[in-house]
């Protein structure tokens, strides 16, 4: 019975009940749509203040986190694999069309059509990144200009705070972020009701395609994780010359923790210990690279979020132009770069992406319902990807001990001080 109190279990039960109800009742279940729409709007109303405060706090509090070749190599590998994850997600989504069977008969929310805007060329698209009236952009939830403003404001705030030592404004936005997060946590208490209503209405409209689309979405994400993991292993093997057959056993412990907890933060001490003691990466490289990886190394999240963008577009019959696809990839990457962090969990991220790109949100309930499964896949790739990036960084500076990797030598890793990583742990769990 204790398991039934877990939010993911409650949402899962509500999702199944909603699908069954929609299949049995049929078109009448469309009368429940307003309940689901109300749930979506409760989250949407928090997105603008949440994104603004999160970006301002992230950029306003940036301090030197490492310089020189170590940082350059770490960031280079992480950004490179994140771009690869976004491209792979787009390619698989085009190939398998996971949202195609979900096309519904309803219209796009007028508020989303307004926020999407109409650009006639690349010049207009770029001009649209900057608003002449930030309050106007906030009123229509036009997210890209809001992000640009918040980045510039945060950078200016960072400079001001560094110069004067006055962090009052930064503290204000930090507290605003925490308050909005509390709002979202309150809203998520009614998530099972909202998901039930969304899926009941959606199933009544499109029928059994809801189930097949959910399986297609999960399958596309799983295939992406398998391919990207194989690419990680291939690159590590080619760069380091180490025997890849030894790698699964070295990653087994952290993998087990990752998939059972779906938390990079909980898994971090084990990852750090194994990366030093089993893989042979130096303590110096492991400390820096894995700490940065908590917020920047969310390759599974980048993959999943880009698939979400394509799924929502396909489910609503929306044809994304090249600019929107690139923007979707950019947002999926930036959401996990530690610069644009949207806390609050998957529902907020999905609605943020959908709102920014002007996509219909009718299918969001289905994505929320199966997010526990995608969370397992995201965390698996996030955690093991960080270890393999640490191996690549260590190889460049000859700080990977082959004797340790081959089991001919034993070393001990330093203990993790949880307090030093508290903020990064929180951000990592949001990506998972």
Residue 230 resides in a domain: yes
Q: Is residue 116 very low, low, confident or very high in pLDDT (cuts 50, 70, 90)? A: very low
**For all residues of the chain together, what is the average pLDDT?**
81
pLDDT score, position 432 = 56
pLDDT of 119 higher than 50: no
Average pLDDT over residues 57-70: 67
Residue 229 resides in a domain: yes
Structural domain total, the chain: 1
Average pLDDT over residues 174-201: 84
pLDDT of 182 higher than 90: no
Q: What are phi and psi of 362, to 5 degrees?
A: -60, -30
Q: Is the dihedral of CA 336, 341, 344, 347 positive or negative?
A: negative
Among 360, 357, 324, 368, which Cα is nearest to 102's? 360
Residue 271 resides in a domain: yes
What's the pTM? 0.76
Express each pLDDT in 249-303 by its tens digit.
899 988 988 887 777 777 888 888 889 888 888 888 888 888 888 777 789 989 9
Residue 282, phi-psi category: left (phi > 0), alpha (psi -120 to 50), beta (remainder):
beta
Average pLDDT over residues 32-51: 83
What b/e string do you get for 186-201 counting C-beta neighbours within 10 Å, with b at 16 or more?
A: ebbeebbbbbbbbbbb
Average pLDDT over residues 103-116: 46
CATH number at residue 356: 1.10.3860
Residue 371 resides in a domain: yes
Residue 5 resides in a domain: no
Residue 8 resides in a domain: no
Range of the domain at 330: 27-431
Residue 364 resides in a domain: yes
pLDDT score, position 94 = 94
Residue 195 resides in a domain: yes
Query: Which H, E and C letters describe the chain, residue by residue?
Result: CHHHHCHHHHHHHHHHHHHHHHHHHHHHHHHHHHHHHHHHHHHHHHHHHHHHHHHHHHHHCCCCCCCHHHHHHHHHHHHHHHHHHHHHHHHHHHHHCCCHHHCCCCCCCHHHHHHHCCCCCHHHHHHCCCCCCHHHHHHCCCHHHHHHHHHHHHHHHHHHHHHHCCCHHHHHHHHHHHHHHHHHHHHHHHHHHHHHHHHHHHHHHHCCHHHHHHHHHHHHHHHHHHHHHHHHHHHHHHHHCCCHHHHHHHHHHHHHHHHHHCCHHHHHHHHHHHHHHCCCECHHHHHHHHHHHHHHCCHHHHHHHHHHHHHHHHHCCCCCCHHHHHHHHHHHHHCCCCCCCCCCCHHHHHHHHHHHCCCCCCCHHHHHHCHHHHHHHHHHHHHHHHHHHHHHHHHHCCCECHHHHCCCCCCCCCCCCHHHHHHHHHHHHHHC
Q: Is residue 142 very low, low, confident or very high in pLDDT (cuts 50, 70, 90)? A: confident
Rounded Cα–Cα distance for residues 240 and 35 (Å): 55
- Comparison of pLDDT for 57 and 117, the residue scoring more: 57
Rounded Cα–Cα distance for residues 93 and 85 (Å): 12
Question: Beta-carbon neighbour count of residue 176 at 10 Å?
Answer: 17
């Amino acid at each position: 019975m204790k398991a039934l109190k877990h939010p993911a279990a409650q949402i899962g039960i509500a999702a199944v009940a909603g699908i069954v109800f929609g299949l049995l009742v049929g078109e009448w279940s469309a009368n429940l749509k307003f309940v689901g729409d109300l749930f979506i709007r409760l989250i949407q109303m928090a997105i603008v203040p949440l994104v603004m405060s999160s970006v301002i706090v992230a950029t306003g509090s940036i301090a030197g986190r490492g310089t020189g070749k170590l940082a350059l190599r770490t960031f280079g590998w992480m950004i490179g694999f994140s771009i690869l994850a976004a491209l792979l997600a787009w390619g698989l989504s085009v190939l398998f069309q996971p949202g195609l069977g979900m096309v519904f008969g309803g219209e796009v929310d007028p508020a989303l059509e307004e926020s999407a805007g109409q650009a006639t060329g690349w010049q207009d698209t770029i001009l649209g990144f900057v608003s002449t009236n930030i309050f106007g952009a906030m009123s229509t939830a036009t997210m890209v200009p809001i992000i640009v403003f918040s980045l510039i404001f945060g950078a200016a705030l960072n400079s001001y705070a560094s110069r004067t030592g006055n962090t009052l404004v930064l503290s204000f936005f930090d507290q605003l972020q925490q308050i909005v997060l509390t709002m979202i946590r309150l809203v998520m208490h009614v998530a099972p009701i909202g998901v039930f209503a969304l899926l009941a209405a959606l199933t009544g409209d499109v029928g059994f395609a809801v189930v097949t689309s959910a399986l297609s979405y999960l399958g596309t994400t799983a295939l992406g994780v398998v391919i990207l993991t194989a690419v990680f292993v291939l690159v590590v093997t080619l760069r380091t010359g180490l025997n890849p057959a030894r790698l699964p056993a070295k990653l087994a412990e952290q993998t087990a923790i990752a998939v059972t907890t779906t938390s990079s933060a909980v898994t971090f001490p084990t990852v750090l210990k194994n990366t030093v003691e089993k893989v042979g990466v130096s303590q110096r490289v492991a400390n820096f690279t894995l700490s940065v990886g908590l917020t920047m190394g969310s390759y599974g999240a980048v993959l999943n979020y880009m698939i979400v963008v394509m799924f929502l577009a396909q489910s609503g019959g929306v044809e994304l132009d090249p600019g929107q696809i690139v923007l979707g990839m950019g947002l999926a990457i930036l959401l996990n770069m530690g610069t644009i962090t949207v806390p609050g969990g998957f529902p907020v991220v999905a609605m943020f992406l959908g709102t920014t790109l002007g996509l219909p949100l009718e299918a969001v309930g289905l994505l929320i319902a199966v997010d526990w499964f995608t969370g397992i896949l995201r965390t698996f790739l996030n955690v093991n990807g960080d270890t393999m990036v640490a191996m690549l960084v260590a190889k460049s500076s000859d700080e990977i001990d082959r004797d340790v990797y081959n089991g001919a030598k034993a070393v001990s890793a330093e203990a993790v001080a949880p307090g030093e990583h508290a903020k990064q742990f929180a951000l990592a769990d949001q990506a998972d």
